[in-house]
Amino acid sequence: MGGVYDGFAHLGGFLASGLRDVTSDLAALDGEGWWAVVVDYEGKVTCARFDRVRREPLPAPAAPWRGPRADQWHSSLDRAAYEHGVRAIRGHIERGEVYQANLCRVLSAPVGPDADPLALAARLAVGNPAPYAAVIDVPGLSVVSASPELYLSRDGDIVESRPIKGTGATAADLLEKDYAENIMIVDLVRNDLGQVAAVGSVEVPALCAVEEHPGLVHLVSTVRARLAPGAGWPELFAATFPPGSVTGAPKSSALRIINELEPAPRGPYCGAVGWVDADRGRAALAVGIRTFWISGLAHGGREIRFGTGAGITWGSDPGREWLETELKAARLISLASTGGTE
């Protein structure tokens, strides 16, 4: 749709304003202009093009963040249901249907009309800084992300993905299962990129590097490739989306199992959040983890949502996997709640 709407985005150190248009056509990203991009896990695409883009820090919000109380959050899967899901995935693994699958749950809570995404982004910037921090606020879509994970970057015809698999409070908490899980997903990402890469160009410059983030550590690998001639953003997404690190291996089986076990849509969580500079052939799209989104409800109220999950393998312990989802969510849910950590 065309026209001029109020809206802004702050991603990758760029502040974008002057919203020109919004489209669901990924091919537009191969055209011209600077775009903020959100692709839901379920495939809904929002590409917002802005006329004014400049390197600038996140602006100060007009008022502090007003979030829900800590006791107002509701999980789409409680502990018993989540642990049942872990056991179900282990059953699929035992039957040879899948090697690994990501099981997620969505936390939600009511918010008022004065819950400003910019104020939440400012709060996260202080309390949980992240390499792919983002806020996008356009008509019908408000997303605030503190993602640590690169889904796809692009510099000309060179594309890169940095999948995360393996999480602990410290490096000493990482298990053999975490390393095996990471390697499985790296193989999946190599295969995904290989569908649109020049023959022989796919490489893995870094495997299972330990990265420290606020309150936890991750295992991170890097997969790089050169795009084949004629391959653009629609082809890249068709080959690689949803991201391998938040689905599983083989991806087709994992997607079917996830659909059976998860009662709530993931939305922007586990999708893609980032920017594309079509004029310069550069981009950085994060995996939509550590991500909040605010949406309207049928009765007229508003709700904030946040997703958390864990990768399940044969070596998974149901209780430990639940605690991993708690670890990933605790700091951010505290920051987003009234009376949370400053």
Low-confidence stretches of the chain (pLDDT beneath 50): 1-5, 340-342
Structure-block tokens of residue 244: 């391998």
Contact 9, 135 (CB under 8 A): yes
Q: What is the dihedral of CA 120, 125, 127, 131, to 10 degrees?
A: 130
At residue 297, the pLDDT reads: 81
Please tell me the predicted confidence (pLDDT) of residue 283.
98
Q: Tell me which DSSP letter residue 61 carries.
A: P
What domains can be seen in the chain, in order of their start residue? 5-336 (3.60.120.10)
Collapse the DSSP code of 129 into the 3-class scheme (helix H, G, I; strand E, B; otherwise coil) and give the result.
Answer: coil
Count Cα neighbours of 163 within 13 Å in the Cβ-side half-sphere: 30
Helix, strand, coil percentages (3-state) for the chain, rounded to 5, are: 30, 40, 30
Is residue 296 a contact partner of residue 167, using CB atoms and an 8 Å limit? Answer: no
Return the pLDDT at 339: 60
CA–CA distance, 172 with 324 (Å, rounded to integer):
15
pLDDT at 1: 33
Active-site annotation, residues: 149, 165
pLDDT reported for residue 6: 78
pLDDT for 61 equals 95
